[in-house]
């Protein structure tokens, strides 16, 4: 799914890197716990979160993610926006709650990845 499609489905405001809206994402993750993101997320994914701190950007960068959507109208700091710009990471904000945003993306074809338990 293209990032631009995600923006339309979630009625999200683009906060950073609007020139990257044609990039594709292949899975999604909704979490406020960056340890879960580190454990389960693969590259070319979109992260939906209500957590607003620089660690979110750093985690997404480490995991080769391409987009972060802040739910519940959360907005990143200027420091976070600059960090995302440096990494070509799209930042968006939506009024939707996490549950609704994830459900909207899922019902429109963007899936998560199966978690393998040891």
Residue 94 CA, distance from chain mean position: 11
Q: What is the pTM of this model?
A: 0.91
Backbone dihedral angles phi then psi of residue 67, each to the nearest 5 degrees? -155, 140
Structural domains of the chain in order of their starting residue, each with its CATH number: 3-107 (3.40.1390.20)
User: What pLDDT tens digit does each residue of the chain (118 aa) get?
Assistant: 999 999 999 999 999 999 999 999 998 989 998 888 887 776 678 999 999 999 999 999 988 899 999 999 999 999 999 999 999 999 999 999 999 999 999 999 997 765 544 4
- Nearest-5° angle of CA 34, CA 40, CA 46? 70
Q: Scanning the structure block, which residue is given the tokens 């950007």?
A: 57
């Amino acid at each position: 799914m293209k990032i631009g499609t995600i923006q339309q489905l979630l009625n999200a405001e683009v906060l950073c890197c609007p020139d990257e809206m044609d990039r594709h994402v292949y899975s999604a993750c909704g979490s406020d716990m960056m340890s879960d993101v580190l454990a389960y997320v693969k590259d070319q994914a979109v992260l939906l979160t209500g957590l607003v701190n620089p660690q979110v950007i750093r985690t997404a960068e480490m995991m080769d993610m391409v987009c972060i959507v802040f739910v519940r109208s959360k907005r990143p700091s200027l420091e976070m926006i600059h960090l995302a710009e440096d990494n070509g990471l799209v930042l968006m904000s939506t009024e939707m709650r996490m549950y609704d945003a994830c459900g909207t993306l899922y019902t429109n074809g963007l899936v998560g990845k199966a978690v393998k338990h040891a």
